[in-house]
């Protein structure tokens, strides 16, 4: 048995909306669509949080040569319940986050981002999902108006995966390969 993923969730609900439309259930379709796009946004944000924290955990594990004490410290003090402090969600860049890895890596990443429009757009998509999620959950979820379609939310998520892959590779490649 495989666990459902974001794409499955999106496609299943898209099919449900099409079914409601075909069967003339306009008000049910509207209500379902309004709820679904909010839930999709939460699912995307949650999944991105999971991916980023797993990347950082893996990085700490590999960089410390699987030092259990350091890995435990990183998980308990730097990762658990800290994710939403990693980023300045309102800004259109992730410089604050990159800065936590030191000026050398931050500068390398900034150079990569400034020379790669696709990566820059992926970071912006990632931050937009996080910012929308924060706004929605800190306001009244029920009355919050999400000015995005489910497809737009899904496409932001897909675009943000470029950043996820980049982050994983960049951190992994920053670990010295030859240790004394």
CA–CA separation, 178 and 180 (whole Å)? 7
The dihedral formed by the CA atoms of 153, 99, 70 and 81, expressed in degrees to the nearest 10 = -40
- Is residue 59 assigned to a domain? yes
**Exposed, middle or buried by CB within 10 Å (0-12, 13-18, 19+), for 135?**
middle
Tens digit of each residue's pLDDT, the chain (180 residues): 445 699 999 999 999 999 999 999 999 999 999 999 999 999 999 999 999 999 999 999 999 999 999 999 999 999 988 999 999 998 878 999 999 999 999 999 999 999 999 999 999 999 999 999 999 999 989 999 999 999 999 999 999 999 999 999 999 999 888 655
Give the chain's domain count. Answer: 1
Q: What is the pTM of this model?
A: 0.92
- Is residue 178 assigned to a domain? no
- Is residue 41 assigned to a domain? yes
Write down the pLDDT at residue 180.
53
Write down the pLDDT at residue 179.
56
Question: If DSSP states are collapsed to H, E and C, what string results for 4-46?
Answer: CCHHHHHHHHHHHHHHHHHCCCHHHHHHHHHHHHHHHHHHHHH
- Is residue 180 assigned to a domain? no
- Is residue 152 assigned to a domain? yes
Write down the pLDDT at residue 137.
94
- Is residue 179 assigned to a domain? no
* Domain region containing 12: 6-173
Residue holding tokens 């800190």?
138
The phi-psi region of residue 69 (left if phi > 0; otherwise alpha if psi is between -120 and 50; otherwise beta) is: alpha
Write down the pLDDT at residue 1.
41
Write down the pLDDT at residue 93.
82
- Is residue 119 assigned to a domain? yes
């Amino acid at each position: 048995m495989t666990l459902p993923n974001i794409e499955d969730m999106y496609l299943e609900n898209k099919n449900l909306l099409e079914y409601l439309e075909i069967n003339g259930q306009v008000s049910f379709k509207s209500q379902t669509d309004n709820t679904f796009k909010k839930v999709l946004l939460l699912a995307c944000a949650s999944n991105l949080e999971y991916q980023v924290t797993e990347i950082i955990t893996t990085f700490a594990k590999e960089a410390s040569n699987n030092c259990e004490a350091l890995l435990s410290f990183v998980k308990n003090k730097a990762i658990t319940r800290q994710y939403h402090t990693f980023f300045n969600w309102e800004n259109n860049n992730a410089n604050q986050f990159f800065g936590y890895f030191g000026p050398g890596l931050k500068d390398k990443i900034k150079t990569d981002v400034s020379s790669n429009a696709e990566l820059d757009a992926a970071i912006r998509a990632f931050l937009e999902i996080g910012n929308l999620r924060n706004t929605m959950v800190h306001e009244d979820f029920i009355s919050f108006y999400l000015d995005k379609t489910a497809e737009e939310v899904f496409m932001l998520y897909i675009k943000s995966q470029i950043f996820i892959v980049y982050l994983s590779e960049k951190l992994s490649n920053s670990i010295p390969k030859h240790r004394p």
